């Protein structure tokens, strides 16, 4: 899959996706001067979406309040949500010069799958809440950008349909797994994910209960009419309970379905019930990374759930180096949380990550322009990452990994 990397020194020439104008200009009716255009119906100038933040602003304006706050907000006071982004901003890149960066190789291999950039699509729920075709559009955007996609257990499109589209478009898939109280549900998900062509299982380990998401409680969050948890339509677990003012239906659903008694024996059980690699998502400590490897996990994702679980947890980029040191190359260490541009990706890989995943930015792209928006978001990340590599003097991913002493805290220069 994606056997050949993207050309080293050129980017996609696809036209940038932009929001459609809300009104078309029209000639004012009888009594108006011929050819006069009503100010109220003049065409809205298309915004040029050049950065991930451009997409964030556009998506925030387009989405309904409940939907926007579900995607964008975090837990409690959102300290960790904010810290994830600010921690990247506090890191500086000290570039090398005169390195001949005319030929740069960004390709990597993840569990036998070659991808042209070390940037994947993180698992996020409810894509059809952002855009009518939801996860199918996301797969199509992944194909256009040659990206690996991780499918959420809580997708609003069934894994079989996602897998069919991915197979047709040659998109590599992994499947993110929540372990339900009813183990037969979890066993079924493992079987169906494998049958749908997923090449790895990503087990979320940081959600014994749902983080307290105050915006969802204030909005009495529930899935809009017509949407369900599509992987569970044959059982009662596809519907969320009703929510009253001050309640989140999603929080009630998780409390009803997800097992808070899970321990490390769960990892043994999942590994014994699938034939594909198992990756643990939600590792924030070196000792947990060590235990994950001892239990047979074949990869880990350093993640604090995008600041949506334990508030006051450190930023993922702050704990990444200690986890990489503990793992010492025995399994791949992936990363998510707070990535908003290609420089952030460079910093994460320089500090030891084997690859990164992005979640909210993909939803922003999806909500703004469907598959084209997803593709453009991923292409922005790819373009910025390659540009950063060149400016920093790195010609390969290996050279980025060897660049760790060139990524420093801004406090390093405070004494100057």
The reply to whether 340 sits in an annotated binding site is: yes
The reply to whether 359 sits in an annotated binding site is: yes
**pLDDT (tens digit, 9 = 90+) per residue, 192-233?**
999 999 999 999 999 999 999 999 999 999 999 999 999 998
- What pLDDT shows up at residue 6? 39
Mean pLDDT score, 391-411? 96
Q: What is the mean pLDDT of the chain?
A: 90
Count other Cβ atoms within 10 Å, centred on residue 190. 22
209 alpha carbon, distance to own chain's centre: 21
Mean pLDDT score, 270-277? 98
Asked whether residue 3 is domain-assigned, the answer is: no
**pLDDT (tens digit, 9 = 90+) per residue, 42-100?**
555 568 999 999 999 999 999 999 999 999 999 999 999 999 999 999 999 999 999 99
pLDDT tier for residue 302 given thresholds of 50, 70 and 90: very high
The reply to whether 410 sits in an annotated binding site is: no
pLDDT tier for residue 29 given thresholds of 50, 70 and 90: very low
pLDDT tier for residue 27 given thresholds of 50, 70 and 90: very low
3-state secondary structure of 211: coil
pLDDT at residue 189 above 90?
yes
Q: How many residues does the chain have?
A: 416
pLDDT tier for residue 139 given thresholds of 50, 70 and 90: very high
The reply to whether 329 sits in an annotated binding site is: no
In CATH, what number is assigned to the domain containing residue 171? Answer: 3.20.20.70
The reply to whether 360 sits in an annotated binding site is: yes
pLDDT at residue 11 above 80?
no
Mean pLDDT score, 178-199? 97
Helices 342-350 and 316-327: crossing angle in degrees, nearest 10, is: 30
- What pLDDT shows up at residue 26? 33
Mean pLDDT score, 182-188? 95
pLDDT at residue 128 above 70?
yes
Of 131, 122, 138, the closest CA to residue 19 belongs to 131
User: 278 and 271 in contact (C-beta within 8 Å)?
Assistant: yes
Q: Where does 111-245 show beta strands of DSSP type E?
A: 113-115, 119-121, 149-151, 173-177, 201-204
- What pLDDT shows up at residue 413? 84
pLDDT tier for residue 416 given thresholds of 50, 70 and 90: low
Q: Which residue numbers are catalytic?
A: 305
DSSP secondary-structure letter at 226? T
| H or E, element range at 278 | strand 278-283
Of 116, 110, 92, 10, the closest CA to residue 343 belongs to 92
DSSP 381-403: HHHHHHHHHHHHT--BHHHHHTT
- What pLDDT shows up at residue 412? 80
User: 157 and 126 in contact (C-beta within 8 Å)?
Assistant: no
DSSP 189-206: HHHHHHHTT---EEEE-S
Asked whether residue 254 is domain-assigned, the answer is: yes
- Is this prediction's pTM over 0.85? yes
Structural domain count of the chain: 1
Asked whether residue 285 is domain-assigned, the answer is: yes
- What pLDDT shows up at residue 67? 98
Q: Can you tell me the distance from the alpha carbon of 123 to that of 362, in angstroms, rounded to the nearest whole number?
A: 10
Helices 65-72 and 52-62: crossing angle in degrees, nearest 10, is: 150
- What pLDDT shows up at residue 92? 98
Asked whether residue 37 is domain-assigned, the answer is: no
The reply to whether 347 sits in an annotated binding site is: no
**pLDDT (tens digit, 9 = 90+) per residue, 223-273?**
999 999 999 987 656 567 666 667 788 888 888 899 899 999 999 999 999
Mean pLDDT score, 323-333? 99
pLDDT at residue 33 above 60?
no
Asked whether residue 23 is domain-assigned, the answer is: no
The reply to whether 21 sits in an annotated binding site is: no
User: Domain limits at 375?
Assistant: 53-409
The reply to whether 17 sits in an annotated binding site is: no
Asked whether residue 21 is domain-assigned, the answer is: no
- What pLDDT shows up at residue 415? 60
Count other Cβ atoms within 10 Å, centred on residue 161. 16
Asked whether residue 320 is domain-assigned, the answer is: yes
The reply to whether 178 sits in an annotated binding site is: yes
Percent share of the chain, pLDDT over 90: 81
Q: Can you tell me the distance from the alpha carbon of 369 to that of 380, in angstroms, rounded to the nearest whole number?
A: 14
Asked whether residue 4 is domain-assigned, the answer is: no
């Amino acid at each position: 899959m994606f056997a050949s990397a993207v050309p080293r020194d050129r980017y996609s020439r696809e036209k940038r996706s932009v929001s459609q104008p809300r009104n078309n200009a029209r000639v004012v009716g009888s009594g108006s001067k011929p050819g006069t255009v009503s100010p109220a119906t003049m065409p809205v100038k298309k915004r040029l979406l050049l950065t991930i933040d451009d997409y964030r602003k556009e998506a925030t304006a387009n989405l309904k309040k409940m939907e926007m706050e579900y995607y964008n907000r975090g837990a409690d006071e959102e300290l960790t949500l904010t810290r994830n982004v600010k921690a990247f901003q506090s890191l500086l890149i000290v570039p090398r010069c005169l390195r001949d960066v005319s030929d740069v190789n960004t390709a990597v291999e993840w569990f036998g799958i070659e991808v042209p950039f070390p940037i994947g699509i993180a698992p996020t729920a409810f894509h059809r809440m952002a855009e009518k075709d939801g996860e199918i559009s996301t797969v199509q955007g992944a194909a256009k950008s040659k990206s690996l996609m991780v499918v959420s257990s809580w997708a609003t499109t069934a894994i079989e349909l996602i897998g069919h589209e991915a197979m047709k478009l040659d998109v590599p898939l992994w499947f993110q797994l929540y372990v339900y109280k009813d183990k037969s549900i979890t066993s079924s998900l493992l079987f169906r994910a494998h049958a749908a062509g997923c090449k790895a299982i990503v087990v979320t380990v940081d959600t014994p209960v749902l983080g307290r998401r105050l915006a969802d409680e204030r909005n009495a969050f529930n899935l809009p009419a017509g949407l369900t948890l599509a992987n569970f339509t044959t059982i009662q677990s596809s519907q969320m309970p009703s929510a009253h003012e001050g309640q989140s239906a999603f929080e009630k659903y998780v409390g009803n379905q997800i097992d808070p008694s899970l321990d490390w024996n769960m990892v043994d059980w999942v590994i014994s019930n699938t034939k594909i690699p198992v990756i643990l998502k939600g590792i924030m400590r070196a000792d947990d990374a060590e235990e994950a490897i001892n239990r047979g996990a074949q990869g880990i994702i350093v993640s604090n759930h995008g600041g949506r679980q334990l508030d006051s947890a450190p930023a993922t980029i702050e704990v990444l180096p200690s986890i990489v040191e503990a793992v010492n190359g025995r399994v791949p260490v992936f990363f998510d949380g707070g990535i908003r541009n290609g420089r952030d990706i460079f910093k994460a890989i320089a500090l030891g990550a084997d690859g990164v995943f992005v979640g909210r930015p993909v939803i922003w792209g999806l909500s703004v322009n469907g598959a084209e928006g997803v593709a453009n978001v991923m292409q922005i990340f790819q373009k910025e990452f390659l540009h950063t590599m060149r400016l920093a003097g790195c010609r390969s991913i290996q050279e980025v990994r060897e660049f760790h002493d060139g990524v420093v805290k801004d406090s390093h220069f405070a004494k100057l």
